[in-house]
Structure 1
Amino acid sequence: MASESFELAPDTASRRACLDAFREGAREISPAIVANSVWGLVTGVAMVKSGMSVLMALVITVVVYSGTMQLMVLPLLATQAPLWLVFMAGFMVNARFVIFNAGLYPFFRDRPVWQRMALGFFNSDAAFAIYMARYADCPTLATPVQRWFYIGMIFPSWLSWEAFSIAGIYLSTLVPVSWSLEFAASLAILAIVVPMARTRPMLTTVLSAGAVAWVGQVLPLRLGLLAAVVVGIVAGMLVERHQHRART
């Protein structure tokens, strides 16, 4: 059945459009892959440096597609914190993807549950931002072209993450602490985020989220990060809604 697979559209023209959308998605996400790769390398190194075995680090890299969560729970694991606390902290950090994937639901509502779950698992901050900037105001939703544009973004992002994270795991013994890879990863992410803040809603999102994240550093379990995500998204949406009303 057509609704049970990721097949392209039946006619040649539609297939070509889907393939073009896939390539365009890969091109759009390519700048973010630089930050994604550095972040994956840092995460791979950090897991082994924290005392985790190579095998366990490899398993987590494949099962957990979230550098923020992996780095956040490492101190808890190192101090042998209760397992419930580790899971709770991880949930708090990744709760933003509940919001992200809820925003993507109208674009994939025609897909089976297992496909929506798979597409949500491979979602990323950059992919969500690029996708919504492109299709948020589109009058027609849940089209094959939109779906394949999204797949074109998440597939190379996941491949780069896995490749560099695994490289970091195996090269961790060769990387001295003095290299400060965490700072390099932060700079790489900033190099991606700053150019994207070209509109008033996006600029509002970045500034408000950054302010809340800075103030929320004192909160436990990285709750400041969750608060920053929620405040940033809400602020951006309010500004965008205000602009839409002003135009109409």
Structure 2
Amino acid sequence: MSPALRPHFSTAGLRHGARAALPAFPGFIMFAVAFGTAAAQKGLSLGETLGLSAFVYAGASQMVGLEIWQQVWTPSTILTIMTVTAVVNARMILLGATLQPWLKDEPLARTALNLFLLTEAGWLVGTRYHSEGGRDVGVLLGCGIILWLVWLVATLTGFFAGALVPEPRRFGLDLVMPIFFGVMLVPLWKGAKLALPWLVAGLVSLVVHALVPGYVFIIAGALAGVAAGMLIE
């Protein structure tokens, strides 16, 4: 294998990855601002909000985590939020697995950083670059770092915007999360057949929510949707 086709790392790749991430900025900014605003209205402190964005760094899981957030934590609520975020983020296992041929010879620390910073947007940038013959792992890391920084800055902006509004219901800010999730579903529509798992997940969630206290309905709905999708396929 020629050197050009071997995976390698360079600072030029970091810069290329950062530039390649620019088209993802608007979506990242809007999502992170919405999270920061919702977190402020939920009563989280600035440190808690930035901590979630910096270390959880998973948009959908952060939004779901807000719904479960408690002022007083118990072992059961901690287990619940851990389980729910794990289920929501399980898709990242598959995305990470596809990068194995590219990252297998990388140092462990850099591989761990790449996987921590992995997002759908970063994965798309990286895999497209790789499919076109690129092998500089710096592209993947550069994209991941810049998106993470944008996420933090936008979260901070959203937090202060939300904290400045004393009556969120008056301005409809309490609807940020449900509206956001509703809008996110629109581009995922691929026809009635592929929407059946959504319907199954929703119905199971409603039934479990009515019968079982707590947040088991989120896990039940997710698993039911996955099972329905597998059966349909």
**Cα deviations across residues 63-82 of structure 1 (Å, max 9, x unaligned)?**
21112111102222248662
**Are 1:37 and 2:29 counterparts?**
yes
Q: Of 68, 93, 97, which aligns to 1:98?
A: 93
Which blocks of at least 5 consecutive residues in structure 2 are unaligned? Answer: 1-7, 206-216
More off after superposition, 148-157 vs 92-101: 148-157
| 1:221 and 2:213 correspond | no
Aligned 8 A contact 1:93 1:223 in 2:
no
Equivalenced residues, count? 203
Matches within 5 A, 1:121-132: 121-132=116-127
C-alpha separation in 1, matches of 2:201 and 2:185: 19
Is 1:152 aligned with 2:149? no
Matches within 5 A, 1:55-74: 55-74=47-66
Which deviates further from its counterpart, 70-79 or 156-165? Answer: 70-79
Deviations 1:42-89 (A, max 9, x none): 111111211222222222222211121111022222486621111111
**TM-score of the superposed pair, with normalisation by structure 1:** 0.66
Secondary structure of 1:49's counterpart equals helix
Moved more, 177-186 or 31-40: 177-186
Q: What stretches of structure 1 of length at least 5 have no aligned partner?
A: 1-5, 9-17, 195-202, 239-248
- In structure 2, relative to structure 1, the CA distance for the partners of 1:45 and 1:230 (3 Å cut) is farther
Which residue identity does 1:154 align to in structure 2? G
Q: In percent, how many aligned pairs have the same letter?
A: 21
Asked if the contact 2:200/2:224 (under 8 Å) is kept, the reply is no
In structure 2, do the counterparts of structure 1 residues 229 and 110 end up closer, same or farther at CA, with 3 Å as the change threshold?
farther
Q: Which amino acid aligns with 1:151?
A: L
The AA in structure 2 aligned to 1:167 is T
Alpha-carbon distance between aligned partners in 1 of 2:148 and 2:103, rounded to the nearest angstrom: 20
Q: Secondary structure at the match of 1:82?
A: helix
Task: Tell me the C-alpha RMSD between the 2 structures.
Answer: 3.6
Q: Residue 77 of structure 1 is aligned with which of 69, 74, 83?
A: 69
Say if 2:156 is the partner of 1:166.
yes
Cα 1:59–1:86 change in 2 (3 A) is same
Query: Normalization by structure 2: what TM-score?
Result: 0.69
- Report matched runs for 1:135-150 at 5 Å: 135-136=130-131, 138=133, 143=135, 145=136, 147-150=137-140
Conservation of the 8 A alpha-carbon contact between 1:51 and 1:78:
no
